[in-house]
Structure 1
Amino acid sequence: MRRTNTFLLAGMILGAVIAFLVTTAEPYRQVITAAGPASGSSVLAASTDPGTPGASPKHSTGSAAPQQAAELPALVPQGHVSVVVYDRSTETTPVSLDAHRHYTSASLVKILIAFDALDRGTSPATVREMLSRSDDDTASKLWVSGGQTSIVRAAVPEMGLTETKPPRNPGRWGDTEITAADITRVYRYLMDKAPAEQRDTILRGLRGATENGADGFRQYFGIPDALGDAHWAVKQGWSCCNPGRILHTTGLVNDDRYIVTVLTENPRSVSYETASAQVTEVVKHLPGIR
């Protein structure tokens, strides 16, 4: 009987220790997950801020976010979608979906080109024009004069980017490798750390985005179409096909309170018209950004 009691007591103590370890693991992280029906990716809401390397996790209190975020992968049924919504006023990330999946940047790298060009004394008017019309010719000239891949390599430590890589072919700036988490960091650098003159020039370019880009492509998909006449500042990206059809919408909305990053990649068989509509629907489903 004494031996039985000893085993029973030891078992109770071991159980209590295991329960304590389970309940105290990751005490600062509360992750709400929902499986994505298309890609199998996880949706994180009220999760660690993916836009600040090494920052303490902060949480959102919106109960509707997980349910709405779980719907996002189904809106891009044949491809991939990554989303980060960062709330600058509360310093939280209410929506994060596949934030660390890698994409080619298309024209999003023009923000990095803009910073470098302004550092080198390029006319602010030239930079604004490149951004607002997403002008590839101007971007290519500034890319070459700025040292091509050195533009990206310099931006990585300056902006705290952890997943951005220069293109393998130095002549193809649109193949710069990015993630939604890192693009969010770029916007946070723009708003919180960039020199005031550079911030003003770049924001004026993003706020003045024209409906059609310099190449004639309609660039009001995503944030502009979803939010209409609401106050926004956007940089869009589109390209095909290395390897798939890329459409990105990114920017600041709701009086610059929210940073919204939506990156997508579809097979070539999905038309630009269909892919553009999908990106717009993703933005419409984002909770609380209006």
Structure 2
Amino acid sequence: MKIVRRLGALLSGSAAVVMMSGAAAASPASAAVDLPDGMTASYVVFDRATGATTARDEHKQYRSASVVKLFIALDYLESHGPDYVIPPEDLALLEPMLRSSDDDAASVLWVRDGWEQIVVRMAAQLGLVDTAPPAARGKWGYTAISAADVVTTYQYILTQADPKYRDFIMGNLHQATKCGSDGFDQSFGIRGALPAPWAYKQGWSGFGAAPAPGEECVEGEVQAVPDTREVRAANAAIDRENARSATMADPDIDLTSRAMHTTGTVGAYDEKIVVVLTLEPTTLSWQDSAGRITDLTAAVYATDPGQD
């Protein structure tokens, strides 16, 4: 069943964040989109102009994979203030992290800016109800998130954050590259299914450190962080931390299935926020998983009241 809500109070000020969480908390009925066999999925399509919402299992927790990079970037900006001029060496981290999902950049900023405290600060500031840091603080991709909380995050960036932060984050997401810096093709989901213009931040986990032969992203733009002393030091610190905390329990989320997420906005003025979080069997290839989430994203978007 399609869910349509009028959330006019959402559209400005602090009510934007509070009301999105409240709307999600009402546990609306699921949208009528069939899932492929073996897929677990949650999604939200939120029309910022009308308040219309289509959702399914929006409070279910998933491991974030690279979606946590939204928190890392926002926390960096908030901690320095709107008058801070980002130095070139930090731009060389933030831009590839947002555009090409660079993991080394995320690791540097994660270690430098407080590890799991980044997530603690962002969850408190944005009023996120399902987001939690990883128990093993070296595993930033094991941060727990939900579709509802990711929508709230985009709403905060678009309506509450300082305009300089909004322009920086969304400007980079509007320039997201076809290829991730690790060689995976990140044009699935929003980019592959929905009409441009879009801005997107993808996430994936469980597919290995590099694409399987024949699945490499080709003929696509990409940005990557060079191998620097700070990159090596951050990765070494994370390796030490992961070895020390190997027996710690993570949040009650699936860490075994392959995760693939697509999040972002659609429209010249970011009119619609789209978040689709999925888990897939480990037997599925990258290409199969990418095809399935792209088809699901198209189907979910087609149920949006604004598409009628």
Q: TM above 0.5, one fold?
A: yes
* Unaligned segments of structure 1, at least 5 residues: 1-32, 34-43, 59-65
Q: Tell me the matched-pair count.
A: 236
Q: Which amino acid aligns with 2:177?
A: T
Shift of 1:128: 2.1
Which of 177, 180, 202 pairs up with 1:236?
Answer: 202
- What CA deviation, in whole Å up to 9, does each residue of 1:71-119 have, x standing for no partner? 2x42x320201110111001231x1011011100000000100012223
1:206 maps to which residue? 173
The TM-score, its normalising length taken from structure 2, stands at 0.71
Larger RCO (alpha carbons 8 Å, 6+ apart): 2
Q: Is the contact made by 2:17 and 2:126 (CA closer than 8 Å) also made in structure 1?
A: no
Which of 137, 144, 150 matches 1:183? 150
Structure 2 unmatched ranges of 5 or more: 11-15, 208-254
**Contact kept in structure 1, 2:6 and 2:50, CA below 8 Å:** no
Q: Structure 1 214/70 Cα, relative in aligned 2: closer, same or farther at 3 Å?
A: same
Q: Contact 1:48 / 1:57 at 8 angstroms: preserved in 2?
A: no
* Alignment RMSD: 2.4
Identity within the alignment, %: 38
Q: Distance in 2 between matches of 1:251 and 1:48?
A: 21
Work out whether 1:259 is the aligned partner of 2:218. Answer: no
Output the CA distance in 1 between the equivalents of 2:58 and 2:6. Answer: 11
What's the CA shift for 1:284? 1.2
Aligned residue identity for 1:151: I
Q: Which has the larger radius of gyration?
A: 1
What's the CA shift string for 1:244-287, capped at 9, x where partnerless?
10000010102211000000001211221111101110121122
Alpha-carbon distance in 2 for matches of 1:267, 1:130: 27
CA contact (8 A) 2:45 2:274 kept: yes
| Corresponding residue SS for 1:263 | strand
Question: Secondary structure of 1:45's match?
Answer: coil
Q: Could you list the runs of 4 or more consecutive aligned residues of structure 1 that deviate by over 6 angstroms after TM superposition?
A: 48-51
- 1:280 correspondence with 2:294: yes
Tell me the CA shift for residue 125 of structure 1.
2.5
Q: Structure 2: how far apart are the matches of 1:46 and 1:91?
A: 8
Moved more, 156-165 or 120-129: 120-129
CA contact (8 A) 1:184 1:261 kept: yes
The Cα of 1:211 is off from its aligned counterpart by 0.5
SS of corresponding position for 2:74:
helix
Cα distance in 1 for partners of 2:49, 2:274 equals 14
Give the whole-Å Cα distance in 1 for the aligned partners of 2:145 and 2:154.
Answer: 13
